[in-house]
Amino acid sequence: MEAPAGKEALSILRRLIAYSEKVFQFSRTVIAGVGDRRLEPRIPTAVIIKSVAALFWTRMGSLNALELTAHSSFFRLWLRQSVCSADSIGRVNALMDAEGLRQGIHHVYDRLKRNKALPDHGGIGIAVLDGHESHSSYLQHCAGCLERTIHTGNTDRTQFYHRQVTLLLLPAARPGCEPIRLVLDHEPQRPGEDEVATALRLVERVIGSYPRAFDLVLADALYATAPFFNFLLAHGKHALTVLKDDRRNLLQDAAGLFAGVAPLAGSFRNRQCSWWDFPDLLSWPQVNTPVRVVRSLETHSVKRQLDGKEDPLTSDWIWVTTLPIHLVSTRRAVAFGHQRWDIENHGFNELANGWHADHIYRHDPNAIECFLLIAFLAYNIFHAFYTLNLKPEIRKNRTMAFLSMLMSAEVHAGIDLAFSP
């Protein structure tokens, strides 16, 4: 006899967990090596990590919401115990070993790579990085907080905030599939430090751990700096960033070329483009190689809501890169340049708005770092499960957010209201 349809819907989270155990050995390998600095731990670190992974998969958004489900039969079956208190989960995250979590993320990457789920783009592996502000507050601060002065009316107030630089791997899509994007790592920005310095620390660690995972790093205009480009060149990697007028000499020289050379006609998605592509420019001598400037002037039309007429829209993109033209054509360089937005659309927006990854679950620098790494782990495993394991008829016409509601229902359905916590 087949299970009733409702039961089927209430097993997505169990299937996700079974998948994570079967494919990644989640309990035995991914999280088994993560410890914390408690002297006499009563609750295993693994139980805390699993509870927080469930918090992200079900998108509950707060430790108090998780605590309300602590006695669900779902957790008794999975953890062999109830979820511990919100305070304990926060406290253990403040003492947790972030490097162990990073190795867990690495294990998920290794397994997917071995399973050929992370193809490159015609021989080029791509990663994108960017800084992201996770929260700000006038009231609460910790040792890891950055500070800035906000002028309002006649008063100056000190605002505290946290920023991280995050690196997202952008594999190509397998035939018939969406690509599986993996958030590999993040690095907290330290007080008094600029974002590029944080990014260099992050990239150094990521290249050390994942030497062959990517060949090209995409970033926004802030990263069009000689130290960033030279660092990547020294490690055998390429850079591609947006070019703005901060690199005045280079941009002026390129602008002279744009004016004097007829563009190539091209297209990107549904846009008509005019492309200019100038390799071997010497106008940025601080970078240890000649650079290439690519411009794409793009026109497309949008339908006006008022009268349904088409309005033409133009956007003008200029990128600077170390990618040689014989390796990457203009068309591919333009497509790579646009992929820089993937970290906004598929990374920060989804993690902050969908997964509540920006929420401060415990205001402590180590806890913030570890909660975010567990969010990355949960995100990567969920996306692999969604793309590689879930049947197309289950995915069809259903959003990931809808599936997270089903998973939340699965946890909540196991609550016995007669039991008083």
Kindly list the residues in this chain that would bind Zn ion in the complex (CB under 5 A).
142, 144-145
Q: How far is the CB of 364 from Zn ion (least distance, A)?
A: 8
Q: How far is the CB of 301 from Zn ion (least distance, A)?
A: 46
Instruction: Give how far the C-alpha of residue 394 lies from the chain's centroid of Cα atoms, to the nearest Å.
Output: 25
Q: Among candidates 223, 211, 194, 237, which has minimal Cα distance to 130? A: 223
Residue 306: how many other CB atoms lie within 10 Å: 6
90 versus 144: smaller Cβ distance to Zn ion: 144
125 versus 144: smaller Cβ distance to Zn ion: 144
Residue 310's SS3 state is strand
Q: Tokens standing for 139?
A: 């009231």
Long-range CB contacts (within 8 A, 24+) of 353-356: 354/59, 354/400, 354/401, 354/404, 355/56, 355/59, 355/379, 356/56, 356/59, 356/60, 356/61, 356/62
Q: How far is the CB of 141 from Zn ion (least distance, A)?
A: 5
Q: How far is the CB of 363 from Zn ion (least distance, A)?
A: 6
Cβ pair 158, 147 in contact under 8 A: yes
43 versus 96: smaller Cβ distance to Zn ion: 96
Q: How far is the CB of 398 from Zn ion (least distance, A)?
A: 37
145 versus 243: smaller Cβ distance to Zn ion: 145
Report how far residue 349's alpha carbon sits from residue 361's, in angstroms, rounded to the nearest whole number: 18
Q: Tokens standing for 154?
A: 């006649």
Q: How far is the CB of 240 from Zn ion (least distance, A)?
A: 33
144 versus 179: smaller Cβ distance to Zn ion: 144
Q: Among candidates 236, 201, 199, which has minimal Cα distance to 219? A: 199
Residue 66: how many other CB atoms lie within 10 Å: 23
298 versus 369: smaller Cβ distance to Zn ion: 369
With DSSP H G I counted as helix, E B as strand and the rest as coil, what are the percentages for the chain, rounded to 5?
A: 45, 25, 35
Cβ pair 318, 251 in contact under 8 A: yes
Q: How far is the CB of 197 from Zn ion (least distance, A)?
A: 19
Which residues on neighbouring strands pair with residue 316, listed in sequence order?
297
144 versus 266: smaller Cβ distance to Zn ion: 144
Name, in order, each residue with C-beta under 8 angstroms of 148's C-beta and a sequence gap of 6 or more.
158, 159, 161
Cβ pair 165, 187 in contact under 8 A: yes
145 versus 203: smaller Cβ distance to Zn ion: 145
- Interaxial angle between packed helices 45-57 and 86-94, expressed in degrees from 0 to 180 and rounded to the nearest 10: 110
11 versus 159: smaller Cβ distance to Zn ion: 159
Exposed/middle/buried for residue 152 (C-beta within 10 Å: 0-12, 13-18, 19+): exposed
Alpha helices in 313-391 (DSSP H): 330-339, 342, 349, 365-384
Alpha helices in 130-217 (DSSP H): 195-209
Q: How far is the CB of 383 from Zn ion (least distance, A)?
A: 29
Q: How far is the CB of 146 from Zn ion (least distance, A)?
A: 8
Q: How far is the CB of 162 from Zn ion (least distance, A)?
A: 6
137 versus 272: smaller Cβ distance to Zn ion: 137
Tell me which amino acid residue 126 is.
I
